[in-house]
């Protein structure tokens, strides 16, 4: 039987087939019953009796499956899995929409109206689809790639709507992490200042206007405003600035392990020190991942998200992806806290570097010349003393009292760049079942909560629910439809 594409699945589920709803009884055995259903925006709703076996099962164990099958040629079936919730909130609407699908609009309306007259023995069961049986193969330990070396600055200042939207959604997750994900993100709200020189003033103003239209709290600030917001910062005559009060930085390791803990709780297997050595395909479809230890993980869905190693992995299935790792350096200085007790995070486009506070008495600076590194396993991981000294001079020019800071140490990491310095979030053309989330070009950490959700939806449902990922599609380079940036300091994107 040929597999359905996501669009075919969407069209198929839109039809009023009778589905079979499988829930888990108290003793672990399955309970299966026929249901009518409604499919919309990746969510399935069914209506059930309040005291029905399936409702009681779902209240105890939310994991359910729905099998939608035709018994006529050409045979088709779709099996959906997810976590269900029982609620009366949308019951009337669910009854109208579901019963209308199967009995016609008039009867559906009538059934909903009858319900309003008093029968409250029904409930709506909503199934949020998810993917079960997920395995994460990690070559080393979590956070050992670019993420663990990240400066982890979280700001929304971008030249494009898509990245602004992903950054804004993500910031709200970082800032409310325990409630939304569970665990700690280490987010510290410092405010974010973008500084440009006159040549980039037009780009700055355009970007801020776009962000404001999208609901992002930000504004262009005058030297007088800045003197109140961040009096330690010097703005020179030929410079302009914008301010984001909500932005700051987070702790990339905490974020990674918190997500991993939630994933494990939801049933994912995280296999550390277990590199993927290859991907097996047959008839243009993925079949399995082969590990370096020689094990085979059979699957019909693979997401390559291997940072700077992704190019090699995709080359193994004959896919050429334009990724180029470049080295970026981070140095920490001890701050003279009596002179500079705190300062905001700064994207200093004017001087091509960035800095942020690090805890109560350190400041980290990010800088580098984007030197290309072909081998992610062999690049200079320390920092260049002369480059660190130059960054410290720029820091002291921006915050003069920082001339009393002293150097504490540093490291280098890799930005995995694409030709337009924006990620690729897409299915991989030509290999069915293969997806990639790669090429974050030195600014992917701040986007990660929204990206993980959008890519999960892309894989599970065929498209992201509330972002249009098409500007980040795989083929945009071949099509010559690259994203723009207002600035030559490309990591600001």
Ligand X SMILES: Cc1cc2nc3c(=O)[nH]c(=O)nc-3n(C[C@H](O)[C@H](O)[C@H](O)COP(=O)(O)OP(=O)(O)OC[C@H]3O[C@@H](n4cnc5c(N)ncnc54)[C@H](O)[C@@H]3O)c2cc1C
- Taking CB under 6 A as the binding criterion, the range among 8-16, 110-118, 210-218, 410-418 that sits at the site for ligand X is 410-418
Nearest C-alpha neighbor of 121 from the set 59, 63, 55? 55
Is residue 343 near ligand X by the rule CB under 6 A?
A: no
Nearest C-alpha neighbor of 157 from the set 86, 217, 235? 217
Is residue 444 near ligand X by the rule CB under 6 A?
A: yes
Is residue 414 near ligand X by the rule CB under 6 A?
A: yes
Is residue 275 near ligand X by the rule CB under 6 A?
A: yes
Based on CB atoms, which residue is closest to ligand X, 450 or 460?
A: 450
Out of 157, 211, 328, 335, which residue is the one contacting ligand X (CB under 6 A)?
328
Count of CB atoms within 10 A of residue 156's CB? 24
CA angle 418, 424, 430 (to 5 degrees): 110
Site string for ligand X, 56-95 (x = CB under 6 A): ----------------------------------------
User: Shortest approach of ligand X to residue 326 CB, angstroms?
Assistant: 9
Beta carbons of 5 and 427 less than 8 angstroms apart: no
User: Shortest approach of ligand X to residue 268 CB, angstroms?
Assistant: 14
Is residue 366 near ligand X by the rule CB under 6 A?
A: yes
Distance between CA atoms of residues 39 and 462, nearest Å:
14
Nearest C-alpha neighbor of 427 from the set 372, 474, 393? 474
Structure tokens at 172: 């709200």
What residues pair up with 175 in beta bridges, in sequence order?
A: none
Based on CB atoms, which residue is closest to ligand X, 31 or 184?
A: 184
Is residue 424 near ligand X by the rule CB under 6 A?
A: no
Is residue 309 near ligand X by the rule CB under 6 A?
A: yes
User: Shortest approach of ligand X to residue 275 CB, angstroms?
Assistant: 4
What residues pair up with 302 in beta bridges, in sequence order?
A: 434
Is residue 152 near ligand X by the rule CB under 6 A?
A: yes
Nearest C-alpha neighbor of 448 from the set 232, 223, 260, 269? 260
Is residue 442 near ligand X by the rule CB under 6 A?
A: yes
Based on CB atoms, which residue is closest to ligand X, 243 or 445?
A: 445
Size of interface with ligand X, in residues (CB under 6 A): 33
User: Shortest approach of ligand X to residue 307 CB, angstroms?
Assistant: 2
Give the pairing type, strands 269-271 and 135-137.
parallel
Based on CB atoms, which residue is closest to ligand X, 142 or 334?
A: 142
Based on CB atoms, which residue is closest to ligand X, 32 or 315?
A: 315
Beta-carbon contacts of residue 324 (< 8 Å; ≥ 6 apart) = 372, 416, 417, 418
User: Shortest approach of ligand X to residue 432 CB, angstroms?
Assistant: 21
Beta carbons of 370 and 415 less than 8 angstroms apart: yes
Is residue 391 near ligand X by the rule CB under 6 A?
A: no
Out of 84, 188, 193, 313, which residue is the one contacting ligand X (CB under 6 A)?
313
Q: What is the largest CA-CA distance in the chain?
A: 79
Out of 151, 417, 485, 486, which residue is the one contacting ligand X (CB under 6 A)?
151
Out of 139, 157, 335, 398, which residue is the one contacting ligand X (CB under 6 A)?
139
Distance between CA atoms of residues 244 and 345, nearest Å:
10
- Taking CB under 6 A as the binding criterion, the range among 90-98, 131-139, 235-243, 428-436 that sits at the site for ligand X is 131-139
Beta-carbon contacts of residue 36 (< 8 Å; ≥ 6 apart) = 16, 18, 19, 46, 47, 98, 99, 101, 102
CA angle 141, 146, 151 (to 5 degrees): 120
Beta carbons of 397 and 233 less than 8 angstroms apart: no
User: Shortest approach of ligand X to residue 345 CB, angstroms?
Assistant: 9
Half-sphere exposure of 333 toward its Cβ, with a 13 Å CA cutoff?
26
Distance between CA atoms of residues 28 and 57, nearest Å:
10
Beta carbons of 159 and 461 less than 8 angstroms apart: no
Is residue 451 near ligand X by the rule CB under 6 A?
A: no
Is residue 316 near ligand X by the rule CB under 6 A?
A: no
User: Shortest approach of ligand X to residue 245 CB, angstroms?
Assistant: 18
Based on CB atoms, which residue is closest to ligand X, 122 or 171?
A: 171
Binding site for ligand X (CB under 6 A): 137-140, 144-147, 149-153, 275-276, 305-309, 313, 328, 330, 366, 413-415, 440, 442-446
């Amino acid at each position: 039987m040929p597999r359905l594409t996501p669009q075919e699945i969407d069209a198929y589920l839109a039809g009023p087939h009778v589905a079979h709803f499988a829930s888990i009884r108290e003793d672990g055995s399955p309970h299966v019953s026929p249901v009518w259903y409604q499919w919309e925006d990746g969510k399935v709703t069914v209506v059930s009796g309040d005291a029905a076996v399936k409702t009681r099962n779902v209240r105890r164990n939310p994991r359910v499956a729905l099998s939608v099958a035709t018994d006529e040629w050409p045979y088709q079936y779709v099996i959906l899995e997810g976590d269900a919730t029982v609620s009366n909130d949308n019951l009337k609407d669910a009854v109208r929409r579901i019963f209308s699908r199967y009995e016609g609009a008039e009867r559906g309306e009538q059934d909903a109206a009858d319900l309003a007259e008093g029968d409250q023995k029904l409930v709506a069961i909503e199934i949020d689809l998810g993917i079960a049986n997920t395995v994460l193969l990690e070559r080393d330990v979590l956070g050992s790639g670019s993420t663990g070396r990240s400066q982890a600055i979280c700001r929304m200042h971008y030249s494009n709507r898509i990245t602004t939207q992903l950054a804004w959604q993500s910031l709200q997750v970082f800032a409310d992490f325990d409630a939304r994900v569970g665990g700690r993100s280490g987010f510290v709200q410092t405010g974010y200042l973008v500084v440009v020189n006159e040549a980039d003033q037009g780009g700055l103003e355009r970007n801020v206007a776009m962000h404001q239209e999208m609901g992002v709290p930000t504004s262009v600030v005058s030297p007088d405003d800045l003197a109140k917001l961040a009096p330690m910062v010097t703005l020179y005559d030929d410079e302009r600035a914008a301010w984001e009060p909500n932005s700051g930085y987070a702790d990339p390791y905490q974020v990674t392990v918190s997500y991993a803990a939630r994933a494990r709780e939801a049933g994912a297997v995280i296999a550390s020190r277990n590199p993927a050595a290859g991907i097996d395909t047959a008839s243009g479809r993925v079949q399995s991942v082969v590990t370096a230890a020689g094990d085979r993980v059979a699957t019909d869905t693979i997401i390559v998200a291997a940072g700077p190693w992704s190019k090699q992995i995709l080359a193994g299935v004959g896919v050429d992806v334009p990724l180029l790792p470049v080295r970026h350096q981070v140095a920490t200085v001890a701050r003279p806290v009596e002179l500079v007790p705190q300062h905001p995070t700064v994207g200093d486009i004017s001087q091509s570097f960035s800095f942020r506070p690090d805890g109560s008495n350190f400041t980290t600076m990010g800088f580098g010349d984007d030197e290309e590194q072909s081998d992610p396993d062999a690049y200079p991981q320390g920092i260049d003393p002369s480059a660190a000294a130059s960054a410290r001079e720029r820091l002291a020019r921006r915050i003069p009292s920082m001339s009393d800071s002293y150097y504490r140490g540093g490291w280098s990491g890799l930005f995995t760049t694409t030709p337009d310095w924006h990620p690729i979030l897409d299915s991989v053309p030509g290999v069915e079942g293969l997806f990639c989330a790669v090429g974050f070009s030195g600014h992917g950490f701040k986007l990660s909560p929204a990206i993980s959700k959008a890519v999960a939806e892309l894989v599970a449902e065929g498209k992201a629910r509330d972002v249009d990922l098409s500007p980040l599609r795989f083929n945009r380079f071949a099509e010559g439809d690259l994203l723009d940036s207002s600035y030559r300091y490309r990591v600001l994107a």
